[in-house]
Structure formats: structure tokens, C-alpha cells
A and B are shown apart, each in its own frame.
Chain A
Amino acid sequence: MEAVINPILLYTLLGVGGLGVLLALPREKVNPQAIGALIAAAGFGGIFLALGLKAGSNHPGLFFYLFALIALGSGLRVITHPKPVYSALYFIMTVLSSSALFLMLGAEFMAFALIIIYAGAILITYLFVIMLATQAPSEEDLETLSEYDAYSREPAMATAVGFAVLALLTGMMAKGAAELAPSGGLRQSEALLTELPGKAIDALDRHGVFDGGALVRPDKTQAAELIDPVHRVIMLEVKDAEALRRLFERSPLAASLLGSEERVAALKAGSVNAGDRIEVKLPADVVVSSVDGVGWDLIAKHPMGLELAGVILLMAMLGAVVLARKQIEMGEAEKLDRVRSRGGEASGVAGARSAGSGGMAGAMAGSAGGGGGAA
């Protein structure tokens, strides 16, 4: 029986970690946050150690542990720091470390997309709102924390529930990991090459394979069938054997792709005729990058999702606009109507009233409190 990790060890260390997190949560009087952090580090570190030992030579590498530590540590700090601005900043650090982990997993596009979108947009928005909604410190005490920031609410219950979920999740995952089908098989990223013939042809062009008309340059639909992603070759038709020989002699770059000494001998011997198919190796720079892969999956395999994502974003935008309008009281709306009906040319009145929204529409929509229903 092979277990990913001994369950008793797992749950015990999770318990230790839970205790640490519980101690680290901010509370009123005694605040053993540092000790709590250490205990939590010990708990989680122990689990990672066990996993690493189990992995043996397959362990994910030093950088994984480093970034995992940073991620968990700053995640812990997000929930335990009393000041909200600091929480947001630590979350940014969490995002950064998880993008590093994405990099290690070979998902470069996602890594940077994460940074751009998450850290760069969403969290900045959060910071704006935090600073907007925090009450300004008065002159006497510049450092007061609001009461709801300083203390955590029912830390014991929260920690217990959280770690119960964690224990169950990790347990299930370990079980599932044991039943997981082995990875490997056709590298799908390579398999994508057949879908991207333009890349291959462009690369061959750059290497000068099609110079002198030696080989037939297929178009994209034809080339899709001609590429063999497993061996990384493309089958090209010879148009002119003589030109092919000349290509061999003139361009060593192309020659490297076109074949070995045998091919050369065959060419010289004249055994290669027009219409023959030869294998041409694909250059090394013909790779399907992560961007390619993601883009292809997104558009070719999940087009509907893409459209729906767009719709969702549009709706979110509309909803945000509706929600964030300036509030207009009922009485104010009626005043607006009366003003409008009396003398409509004084557009300054109308303009001055509802900043950033249609006056009539805003007046008729009433107070914006329930506008969140649009979202």
C-alpha cells in the first residue's frame, strides 16, 4: 500500500498548524501572534517535509518550497494583520508568489496574466476602496485601529471549521492522488503543432528551406496533415531535385534540416526525383508556447466560455456603474422634476445635479440602494 502521506501524521500536523493559526489571529488582550506563526510554520513545514521525503528525487525543487513558504506566510499575514491596507499588500505578495509557482509549472502566460490582472487591477481597486472607506485618523491618535479590525471574531470556531475542511480536503486529495492515472503520454503541447502549421512553415522559411524552389511550399491546410509532431518532422514534396542539391551545398542551415549524409549521397546519386516526399526536420524554435496553447484551448475548445466571459464582464461593468452612482434622495428627485418642468434651459442645473449619470434616468430609478440587483 502506498500512501502519499501517513494520515495520522497529516492530521496531527494539521492540528498543530491549526493551533498556530488560532494563536496568530488578532485578539484583545494577550497576543501571541509571533508564537502562533512559528507553530503554524512548524506544522505546515512538517507536512511539506514529509511530502518531500516521500517524493525522494521527484521533489519539486527548492524554489517550490521557497515560494510555497512565502505564499502561505503572506496568506497567514493577510488574515491576521489588524490593518486592512497591510492585508491587501500581503495579498499582493501572495499573488506574486503564486505567479512564481505558475512559472515553475510552465504556465508563463498565466503567471503574468495573474500579475497583470490580479495584482495590477483587482488589488489596486481593493486598495482604493480600503483607503476610501477607512475613517480618517483624528489628530489625537493617528494610529487607532477600528474595533472591527483589531479583534478577530470567534477565532476558535473559524480555525476549527477551516482546518476541518483542510483535513478533509487533503485526505481526499491524498486518496485521489493514490488513484491518479500516471501522467505523461502524448505531450499535448507538441500535439498542437499539427494545429499550428503556419509556425512550422514560417520557421522553415526563416531557415531558407524553401529558397530556390527546391521544395513545394504547402499551404496551411495541407501542411496540417504533413506535420508529424511526435518525431517533429514535416513531409515536403520535392519540386526540383537539382535545386535541392544546390540548396544543400549553399545553405548549411537548410542542410541541417534537410537531412543527413545519406540524403546528400542520395541526392548526388540522383536517386531523388521530383514528386518524392522527404522528411524535413522542424527547427528547434518551432515550439508551442504556453501562450499558444492557452489561446488555442480558449478559442478552439471553449469559444462559448469566452463569449460568456465577455458578457459577464459587460454586466459587471454596468452593475458597477449603476451601483456607484451618486445617491439621489426621493425628495431631491421631485425637486429636480419641478425645476425641469419650469425652466428647462438652465441646463446647468440639470448638469450640476447628477454627476456622472443621466438625470431623468437617475431620478426615475430612485435611490440606488437596491441597484445591486442588476448584478
Chain B
Amino acid sequence: MPSTFSNPIALLALAAEPAALNESASSVAGPAWFALIPLLPLAACVLCGLTVAMRVRTKAPAWITVGLLALSFVVTVAGFMGWNGGSGTPQVAKVYDWIHVAWAGADSAVHTFVADFAFYMDGLSWLWMLFVTGLATLIALYASEYMEHDVGKGYGRFFAAFALFVFAMACLVMADNLVLLYLGWEGVGLCSYLLIGYFYKKPSAVAAAKKAFIVNRIGDLGLAVGIFLTYVTFGTVEYAELFALVEKGVDGDGQALAGMWQAWAIPLLFMVGAFGKSAQLPLYVWLPDAMEGPTPVSALIHAATMVTAGVYLVARMYPLFVLEGVPHYALWAVGWTGALTALLAATIGMAQFDIKRIMAYSTVSQLGYMFAGLGVLTSVGAAFHVFTHAFFKALLFLACGAVMHGFAGQLDLRKLSGLRTMPGWRIVSITMLIGCLNLAGFPLITSGYFSKDMILAEAFVTPGAAGIGWILLVTAGLTAYYTFRVYFRVFEGPQHYEPGDELHGHDDHADDAHHHAHEHEPADHGHAHADHGGAQEHGHGSKPAHEWHPHPPKWAINGVLAVLAVLSFAAIGTYFMDKAHHGWVGGMVHRSSAEFASPFAHHDPAHGTEADGEHGHATAEAHVAAAGRFLGMDPHKAMYYVSAIVGLIGIAAAWWLHLAGRTSAATSRADALLPLLGPVPRWAQNKWYVDEFYDFIIRTPLWVLANVCHMIDRLLVDGLVNGVGLLPQLLARGLRPSQNGRLHGYAAGMAGGLAVVLLIVFLVVFSA
């Protein structure tokens, strides 16, 4: 703590040598043009802001953003190539000195706090940045068409926030120290708020934005305290020094970490922060509501990038989580919470009817998978799942968005059916199918299958995590079921569509809506006849029939969907590269701080592992012997088949319940099953009343407290003030009878005076 600044010159001198601190054996200096990666999106944000100020009425903000994001992606690829071709050690690229504080402590030791605007690029960072910038570019392109209704109104605002988000995400991922990571963390939270609340005139959107921000804040508190504790324990917040200390197993003063409570408290706090950002139990409630934002936002932020920031944090800080000699509370908490969240979200998703919301719950569920993967000691599996999930989930969201865009905001799967056979919707349908197959983990031809399989296998390998494994396996079946429920209801079956609430994209044209209920022949070209046999949705009398027909997507949407579908397939390929490290992703993870070779990892001779080199051979064999088995079989091999079977069962169940024998859009064979299950489907549909529970335990006591304080203010404080004003009134009221001309007042005065005189006589004269 700063006690005296007795030698300011010495202190300044100390503070003036920052460059030396970053150089260490574990990292090399990186080129400064890495800074372009975050700064180009920042420039895009500023330019979009200018377009708003200049009231530009074209699609210029979109092209600016797409262009600059594409440029950022190119820089990322270039940087990655450079790094990949080099030694593969982490590179630290410093842009400028940001926070440098030095003071002399009580024991005349010099304490410093250094947080530079610098980037720490290792495998994990490159992996993340590649798909973040890539997806951001694609989704910006998609959004250029999707948001075209708002050109001239909110278009520029949207893209400015979008670009700012990418800047913040880049800061988060590429940060060299925890403070810059926190900057990015807060930044993505802010942009998420801005973008969810983009339709700020809708109260539900505003409420959802506030909910997201506030729930994130709770997690941010955990992260902040974790950062504080890190600094206090290790004396530094920079990754390079931190990892060096952790590798040696000592804290900032050189004491052994084993046995210190901070060693397991810090990971727990980081975990809280991660749960807030990545929507795990109990802080997941904001993600489904966040679907109020435009679909590109959902795709980018709430599927691929922001929600993976939590996973990134845990992966980045993985050395702290897996420290030897320290109880691994955080690790188990991460694992079990992830698994339970996955199951919970899957059950809720099974009972929803809004397809975007189903996808949101599916995101929560898959994030649970990732955290579970981290918990069962496969950071590679988690990272690979993040990678594949980013592509196919973005794809799924964008496809849903295309449906929403084309059907004027209609998202209810009871009101849409048979889209595949409608003209202009073929690409959407095919890409949607590809995405669904990935999500369900269809064997062998989807990347989702491989990534999920890795986590499932590892769950059974790591001893004590079999429970997690079974939960995840059941969830896999449920995932397949609800995913294909969406596909079979919306894209297959008889054709039927109804427009949603956003007819013509603006609510002020809602009085022109007509209610179309048609059964079309497949050969019909989708032009609705003005059939007034059905009920009119808005009884506005006989207005001239304004024909509405669905609005198939154009080249931007279709193109992006196609590219994403291709990339989903390409991700399979990455699994087969670099087999020594379980795929290309594994190789990236291997060259990062998230590298952890589980001692229980099965030694497949074809793969090989480096764990042998790190532990003694005997210990390694003991660990392998202790590794779990799946029903008596080797988990890795067994899981290939078991997860495939489970996925297929889910798909078959969905087919049987939602496609076979379905003649209308609103009902299916599943509805016949509902009465058998009692109230459970209704509970699931109501999200297991979690929001209501939070309302009860948090909002209600606060409301009560606020009312109590209000009462105190009104009665006590105002009462006192009013009471002071009341005193003259009372005084006057007491004195008034002597002046108001009424006989009784005067008589009472006389009688009272008599009493007083008697009293005086009694006391004074009669004193004994």
C-alpha cells in the first residue's frame, strides 16, 4: 500500500521501464500491426457514427462495416500465418502503455500495477479471433440485407454498435492482461445491451436489454473480484507473468500455492463471471429474452462470440483451474453446472413454440456442453465444440432470421409449415437442414458430431464424471429431438403460412393485415388469394384487399447461409488435421495456456499423446488404469456409436411425432401425447418458472424494502418536517379560544384560570 513517496524519482524510473516486464522466456514480442485487428472495427464504428450524424440514407454503414471487418479478418489470417509459421510461442504485441502505477510498500518493497494495451496471441487467441472476425464479416453482410427496412432510421446505429462489439470482443480475446480483458468484457456487455434494445420502442425489447445487462453485471462482479484477488495473490494481472508463476506453483511472494485458499477461490470467481456472460445456471435467464434483438445480433453475439467469452475465460485461465495440490472445486462446479444447464435448457427448448427461442435455449444447452467439457478436463473438446458450434449455430439463427424476415416476423412453428417446397426458400431449407444435423450430432457427416463426441467420451474417461456424462448423453438425445422438431414442423409437411406481427416491417401498417389460411398445392406459386372466408385479424371494416405474400431472401442472405453451411462441413476437415493433437483445433489449444493433458486420456496408439512425456511412465499407467469406462467399454470407441445412436433416436422421435401423419401446421401427433404427461409440459413451456422464482426472491424483497423506505420517508421524514410546520397551527389553535368571541372559550379560560389560581394557592400558601 502506498505509504510514503519518499523517492519519487526512483519510482518514476521504475515506472519508466515497462518493456522489460513483458519479455520473458515464455513469450516473444509481437508486431504492433496486430492492433489493426481490433482497431479496424473501431474505425468502422466511428464511421458509422458519422453516417448517422450526417443522416445518410443509403446502405453505406453496412458496406463500411463489412469492408472493414473483412479487412480485419484478412489481417487476422495474415497474423495467424505468421505466427503459425513461427515457433508457435505466444506473442505479445504492445500498442501503448496504459496503466502503470508503482508505489513503495510498507516494507519498502516496490509494488507495481501494470496493465498495458497489449495483445497476447497464442493458439487460443488466434483460434477465437479467426472465427470471430470471419463470422462477424459474414453476419454483417447478412445484416446488410436483413436490416434494410431500417435504412435511414436505425441502420447506422445498428452497424456502429455491431462494429463496436467486434472491437470489444477483440480486446477481450486478444488481451494481454486481465484488465484489458475486463474492458472487452464490459464492452461486449454494453454492445449486447445496445443491440438487444435496438428496437427501443418495444417495451419487451427494452426490458430484455436491461435484463441482459443486469444479469451480466452479476457475473461481472465475480470477475472483478477475481481480478482483484489475482492481483493481491500474484502481484500481477498480466498473462505472461501469471502463467509463469502458476507453472511454478507459487504466488507473487514465492509461497507455494498448494494449501492457499486463494488458489481455489480465484477460479471460482472467474467461473461466476463466465457463467454470467455465457448464460449458465443460474444466470442464464437473459439469453432467451435477448432474442428480442434483431436476428443478426442473435447470431453473432448470442450464438457465436459473446457467449463464448465465458468459455474463453475459463480456457485461458485453465492453469489456475487445474493446479495440482489444490482442491478443484471450481472445476467440478464448472462441469456439473454445465451439465445441468444443458439438461435444463434442453427440456425448456422442447416445449417452446418460438423457433428463435428454441435456438436460444439450444445455445444455452450447448454452452453447457462446452463448460462440461472444460470440467471433465478436455479443453480441446470444449474449444472444438465452440468452434463448430459457432458456425452451425450462426447458421441456424440466420436461417430462422430469414424465415422471420420473409414471413413478416412470424416465428411460431404452429403457424408455419412446408417451407421447403415453397419457391425461393430452397437454400434456406437446405442450410437449415445442415445446421440441424450438426446440432443434433448426426453421425459422421457433421462436425457437431465429432465435437460433441469428444466431450462425451472424455466425460466417461475422467473418473467421477460419469454422472456428467450420462446427463450429457440424455441431453444429446433431447437436443436431436427438439432440433428436428423445429425442422420437421417448419420446413416439412403441408404448406401453410401466416404473417407475423411485423407486417411490412412497420407496425403502423398493421391495419392492412389480413388473415390468410390456405392449403396450397405444391405447384402453387405462393400468391395468396384474397380469401375473406376466414376471420379478419383486425376488424377495420372493408379496406381494399392488400395482398401479402412471403418474401424469400435475396443474394446476401442466401449467400451467407450457403457459406456458413460449407464452413460447417469444412470444420469436419479440421478434425482430421493434426491428429496428434485431436485435430487442428487441438493443435491450436495445445499451443496455448489452455493446454492440459488429462492424465486419464486414453492412449490411442494412432493418436499418441504428450502426456507420457510430462509424467512418469508408471504414474501415467496408473492414471490410465483409473480412467473410467463406459458400460465396460472404452469410452472413446463406444461413444462414436452411442452418441450416434442417441442422436438418431432423437431424430426418429421427432419425425414420428412431428412429421409422420401431420396434416396441418398447428397440430401433430405430439399433441396427442401431451395429456399423458400431465402438467410437466406446461411447466417446461413456462421455463420451469425460474424467472418467477427470481422475481420472488430478489425483486420482491427489494420492492418490500423500497416500500418500507418510502414509508419511512413519508411518515418519519416528511412527518417531522410537516410536524414542524404544524406547531404554529397547534399553538394558534390553543390560543384561539381567547379571541374568537365565543362564550364557552372565555368561560373555559376563566374556569381554567380559577384552577390555576387555586393551584398556586394550594402549593404556595398552604405549604406546611
Direct contact, A vs B (beta carbon within 8 Å): yes
Residues of A within 8 A of B (CB): 153-154, 157-158, 161-162, 164-165, 168-169, 171-172, 175-176
Contact A161 B766 (CB under 8 A): no
- Size of the chain B interface, CB-CB below 8 angstroms: 11
* Contact of A172 with B754 at beta-carbon distance under 8 Å, contacts A154-B744, A157-B748, A161-B748 already known: no
Q: Who on chain A is nearest to B743 by CB?
A: A153
The residue in chain B whose Cβ has the minimal distance to the Cβ of A178 is: B768
- CB atoms of A161 and B755 under 8 A apart: yes
A153 — which chain B residues lie within 8 A by C-beta? 744
Least distance between A35 CB and chain B CB atoms (Å): 25
Q: Which of B379-387, B412-420, B756-764 contacts A (4 or more CB under 8 A)?
A: B756-764
Question: What 5 A-B pairs have minimum CB-CB distances, sorted nearest first?
Answer: A168-B758, A164-B755, A161-B751, A165-B755, A161-B752
Distance in Å: Cβ of B748 to nearest Cβ of chain A? 6
Contact A165 B751, CB 8 Å, known A172-B762, A172-B766: yes
Residues of B within 8 A of A162 (CB): 751
The answer on a CB contact under 8 Å between B744 and A168 is: no
Interface residue ranges of B734-749 to A (CB < 8 Å): 744, 748
Whether A172 contacts B755 by the Cβ 8 Å rule is no
For A175, give its contact among B744, B752, B754, B766 (CB under 8 Å): B766
CA A157 to CA B761, docked complex, whole Å: 23
A162 to B744, CA, bound (A): 13
CB distance from B753 to the nearest CB of A (A): 10
In the complex, which residues of chain B have a beta carbon less than 8 angstroms from the beta carbon of A154?
A: 744, 748
Please measure, in the bound complex, the distance between the C-alpha atom of A169 and the C-alpha atom of B758, giving whole angstroms: 7
Measured in the bound complex, the distance between the Cα atoms of B768 and A172 in whole Å is: 12
Let me know if B761 and A172 touch, CB within 8 A: yes
Q: How many angstroms from the CA of A165 to the CA of B761 in the assembled complex?
A: 12
Q: Is the CB of A158 within 8 A of B755?
A: no
**In whole angstroms, what is the CA distance A162 to B752 when docked?**
8
Contacts of B759 on A, CB cut-off 8 Å? Answer: 168
Q: In the complex, which residues of chain A have a beta carbon less than 8 angstroms from the beta carbon of B752?
A: 161, 164
* Nearest neighbor of B744 in chain A, beta-carbon distance: A153
Residue of A with least CB distance to B745? A154
The CA-CA distance from A238 to B470 in the complex, in Å, is 152
- Complex contacts, A172 vs chain B, CB 8 Å: 758, 761-762, 766
**Residues in B neighbouring A176, C-beta threshold 8 A:** 766
Q: Which residue of A153, A157, A162, A168 has the most chain B CB atoms within 10 A of its CB atom?
A: A168
In the bound complex, residues from chain A placing their C-beta under 8 Å from that of B754 are 165
User: In the complex, what distance in Å separates the CA atom of A158 from the CA atom of B743?
Assistant: 13
Find chain A residues with CB under 8 A from B766 CB.
172, 175-176
Q: Helix, strand, loop or mixed for chain A's interface?
A: helix
Kindly list 7 other residue pairs between chains A and B, CB separation below 8 angstroms, not including A165-B758, A168-B755, A176-B766: A153-B744, A158-B748, A161-B748, A164-B755, A168-B759, A168-B762, A172-B762
Inter-chain residue pair count (beta carbon < 8 A): 29
Complex CA–CA separation, A153 to B740 (angstroms): 15
Q: How far is the CA of A157 from the CA of B736 in the complex (A)?
A: 14
C-alpha gap A171/B755 in the complex (Å): 12
* 9 interchain pairs, CB-CB under 8 A: A153-B744, A157-B748, A158-B748, A161-B751, A162-B751, A165-B755, A168-B759, A171-B762, A176-B766
| B765 → A minimal CB distance (Å) | 9
Nearest opposing residue in chain A for B752, CB measure: A161
For chain B residues 296-331, which have a beta carbon within 8 Å of chain A?
A: none
Once the chains are docked, how many angstroms separate the CA of A334 from the CA of B189?
Answer: 102
A114–B766 Cα gap in the complex (Å)? 34
Q: Which residues of B contact A175 (CB under 8 A)?
A: 762, 766
Q: How far is the CA of A165 from the CA of B753 in the complex (A)?
A: 10
Q: In whole Å, how far is B641's beta carbon from the nearest beta carbon of chain A?
A: 90
Residue on B with the closest CB to A162?
B751
Residues of A within 8 A of B751 (CB): 161-162, 165
Residue of A nearest to B757 (CB): A168
Please measure, in the bound complex, the distance between the C-alpha atom of A157 and the C-alpha atom of B733, giving whole angstroms. 14
Question: Considering the chains assembled together, what is the distance between the CA atoms of A176 and B765 in angstroms?
Answer: 12
CB-CB nearest in chain B for A171: B762
B350 to chain A, nearest CB (A): 67
Chain A residues with CB below 8 A from B761, complex form: 172
- Complex Cα distance, B766 from A168, in Å, reads 12
- In the bound assembly, the distance between CA atoms of A157 and B759 in angstroms comes to 18
C-alpha gap A297/B761 in the complex (Å): 31
Residues of B within 8 A of A158 (CB): 748
Q: Report the Cα distance A157→B751, complex, angstroms.
A: 11
Rounded to whole angstroms, the CA-CA distance of A171 and B766 in the bound complex is: 10
Taken together as a complex, chains A and B put the C-alpha atoms of A161 and B759 apart, in Å, by 12
A153 to B744, CA, bound (A): 8
Query: How many angstroms between the C-alpha atoms of A156 and B648 in the bound complex?
Result: 91
B98 CB, nearest partner CB in chain A, Å? 77
Q: In the complex, which residues of chain B have a beta carbon less than 8 angstroms from the beta carbon of A157?
A: 748
Q: With a CB–CB cut-off of 8 A, which chain A residues contact B762? A: 168, 171-172, 175
A22 to chain B, nearest CB (A): 15
B493 to chain A, nearest CB (A): 76
B745 to chain A, nearest CB (A): 9
Q: How far is the CB of B339 from chain A (nearest CB, A)?
A: 71
Q: Which residues of A contact B758 (CB under 8 A)?
A: 165, 168-169, 172
Complex Cα distance, B446 from A218, in Å, reads 161
Which chain B residue lies CB-closest to A168?
Answer: B758
* Docked pose: A172 CA to B761 CA in angstroms: 9
User: With A and B bound together, what is the CA distance between A175 and B744 in angstroms?
Assistant: 32
Assembly CA distance A236 to B171 (angstroms): 146
Complex Cα gap A105–B17 (Å) = 119
For A163, the closest partner residue in chain B by CB is: B755
Residue in A closest to B766 when the chains form the complex, CB atoms: A175
Minimal beta-carbon separation of B484 from chain A (angstroms): 77
Residue of A nearest to B761 (CB): A172
Q: How far is the CB of B217 from chain A (nearest CB, A)?
A: 59
Chain B residues closer than 8 Å to A169, beta-carbon distance: 758
**Cβ contacts under 8 Å, A165 to chain B:** 751, 754-755, 758
Considering the chains assembled together, what is the distance between the CA atoms of A169 and B748 in angstroms?
17
Interface centre among A158, A161, A162, by most chain B C-beta atoms within 10 angstroms, is A161
Binary per-residue interface labels of chain B (614-629) against chain A in the complex, 1 for a CB within 8 Å, 0 otherwise:
0000000000000000
Rounded to whole angstroms, the CA-CA distance of A157 and B755 in the bound complex is 13
Task: Kindly state the separation between the CA atoms of A38 and B55 in the bound complex, as whole angstroms.
Answer: 91
CB distance from B736 to the nearest CB of A (A): 12
Q: A161–B534 Cα gap in the complex (Å)?
A: 86
How long is the Cα–Cα vector from A171 to B762 in the complex, in angstroms? 8
| Chain A residue at minimum C-beta to C-beta distance from B758 | A168
Closest to A169 in B: B758
Distance (Å) between the CB of A169 and the closest chain B CB?
Answer: 7
- Cβ-closest chain A residue relative to B750: A161
When distances are taken between beta carbons in the complex, the residues of chain A under 8 Å from B755 are 161, 164-165, 168
Q: Which residues of A contact B744 (CB under 8 A)?
A: 153-154
Shortest Cβ distance from A40 into chain B, in angstroms?
19
Query: In the assembled complex, how far is the CB of residue B148 from the closest CB belonging to chain A, in whole angstroms?
Result: 75
Task: Tell me the bound Cα distance from A157 to B748 in angstroms.
Answer: 8
Complex-state Cα separation, A246 to B762, whole angstroms = 69
Closest to B759 in A: A168
Complex CA–CA separation, A171 to B761 (angstroms): 11
Nearest B residue to A166, CB-CB = B755
Separation of A63 and B758 alpha carbons in the complex (Å): 32
Q: Mark B707-750, 1 if CB is under 8 A from A, else 0.
A: 00000000000000000000000000000000000001000100
CA distance A158 to B744 in the complex (A): 9
